[in-house]
């Protein structure tokens, strides 16, 4: 039953592709790894489960996980940022004449437009500076949980699927310390009782450019949601918090898009919030 709570995980390593067709439009895409744990409670059709699972606990039940981030920047002024996280988990247990087969799928996706407020120098030479953006968009949640119960040859299926869209707003700051080191801070909040009661996210990323057009990064990201939908036997409610490190390596791959002009890595990528 605890698998009805399990949501997010993992891939090992990350690759980033960055391209621009001219100096005014910039496009970035990157798969990444979010090594998340999860804690919380969920109730569906009269059944409830609560608990906490670490990342290592989740890997034993993982069937599939995929994570992708995208960012488009126009004229260094405004753009689009988004990411999607998909996790599919399952487990099976048999005791005597009772067999339980549980599956859970979660899709978490952000899509937002952002506007660059400007930059602020942090020293006299201008080699250190901070860039500030504000954003507004939506966060899309999709939960699908199934529990197949077999008792003495009879099958019983309990399932619940909920999909909703939350408004979201936030801000991000990218701080350049040197040619090699940078810090990326992001935060968002949404829901406001329209669908979710509250949804939020925050992340802090440290990036190190070890060689040209390649960047190592380490990040810690936390996302949370509290929700309550439906009434009576159809009520679906709960709350979840998903904290965990996020890591990877960004680099360019010229052979994939030979018709595009590739340049340096984007300063404020990836779009995690």
Q: What is the pLDDT of residue 21?
A: 45
Report which of residues 132 and 216 the model is more confident about: 132
- Do 224 and 197 form a contact (C-beta atoms < 8 A)? no
φ, ψ at 56 (rounded to 5°): -65, -35
Each residue's pLDDT tens digit, 158-171: 787 888 899 999 99
Report which of residues 150 and 112 the model is more confident about: 112
Q: What is the pLDDT of residue 238?
A: 76
198: tokens are 């509250």
Mean pLDDT of the chain: 76
* Mean predicted confidence (pLDDT) in 20-31: 66
Q: What is the pLDDT of residue 46?
A: 64
Each residue's pLDDT tens digit, 83-132: 888 888 777 777 777 777 788 888 889 999 999 999 999 999 888 999 99
Q: What is the pLDDT of residue 120?
A: 93
Q: What is the pLDDT of residue 131?
A: 94
Report which of residues 21 and 228 the model is more confident about: 228
- Do 87 and 61 form a contact (C-beta atoms < 8 A)? no
Q: What is the pLDDT of residue 71?
A: 84
pLDDT for residue 253 is more than 50: no
80: tokens are 């689009």
Q: How confident is the model at residue 23 (pLDDT cuts 50, 70, 90)?
A: low
HEC string of the chain equals CHHHCCCCCCCCCCCCEEEECCCCEEEEEEECEECCCEEEEEEECCEEEEEEECHHHHHCCEEEEEEEEEEEEECCCEEEEEEEEEEEEEEEEEECCEEEEEEEEEEEEEEEEEEEEEEEECCCCCCCEEEEEEEEEEEEEEEEEEEEEEECCEEEEEEEEEEEEEEEEEEEEEEECCCCEEEEEEEEEECCCCCEEEEEEEEEEEEEEEECCEEEEEEEEEEEEEEEECCHHHCEEEEEEEEEEEEEEEECCHHHCCCCECCCCCCCCCCCC
- Do 238 and 40 form a contact (C-beta atoms < 8 A)? yes
Q: Which residue has the tokens 């949980």?
A: 145
Q: How confident is the model at residue 15 (pLDDT cuts 50, 70, 90)?
A: very low
Nearest to 3 by CA among 63, 99, 90, 85: 90
Q: Which residues are CB-neighbours of 103 under 8 A, at least 6 positions away?
A: 3, 63, 88, 89, 90, 145, 146
pTM for this prediction: 0.73
Each residue's pLDDT tens digit, 179-195: 888 899 999 999 998 88
pLDDT for residue 5 is more than 80: no
Q: Which has the minimum average pLDDT: 22-26, 38-42, 140-144?
A: 22-26
pLDDT for residue 49 is more than 80: no
């Amino acid at each position: 039953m605890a698998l009805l709570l399990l949501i997010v995980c993992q891939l090992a390593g990350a690759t980033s592709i960055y391209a621009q067709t001219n100096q005014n439009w910039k496009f970035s895409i990157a798969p990444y790894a979010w090594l998340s744990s999860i804690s919380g409670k969920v109730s569906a059709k009269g059944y409830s489960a609560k608990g906490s699972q670490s990342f290592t606990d989740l890997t034993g039940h993982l069937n599939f996980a995929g994570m992708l981030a995208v960012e488009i920047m126009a004229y260094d002024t405004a753009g689009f940022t988004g990411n999607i996280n998909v996790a599919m988990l399952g487990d099976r247990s048999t005791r005597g004449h009772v067999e339980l087969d549980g599956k859970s799928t979660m899709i978490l996706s952000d899509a937002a437009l952002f506007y660059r407020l400007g930059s602020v120098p942090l020293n006299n030479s201008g080699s250190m500076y901070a860039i500030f953006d504000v954003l507004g968009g939506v966060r899309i949640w999709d939960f699908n949980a199934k529990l197949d119960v077999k008792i003495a040859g009879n099958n019983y299926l309990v399932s619940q699927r909920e999909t909703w869209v939350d408004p979201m707003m936030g801000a991000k700051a990218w701080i350049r310390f040197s040619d090699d080191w940078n810090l990326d801070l992001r935060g968002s909040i949404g829901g406001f009782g329209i669908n979710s009661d509250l949804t939020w996210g925050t992340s802090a990323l440290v990036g190190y450019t070890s060689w040209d057009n390649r960047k190592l990064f380490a990040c810690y990201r936390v996302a949370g949601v509290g929700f309550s939908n439906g009434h009576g036997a159809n009520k679906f409610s709960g709350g979840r918090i998903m904290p965990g490190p996020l890591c990877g390596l960004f680099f360019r791959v010229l052979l994939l898009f030979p018709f595009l002009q590739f340049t340096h890595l984007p300063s404020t990528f990836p779009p995690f919030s």
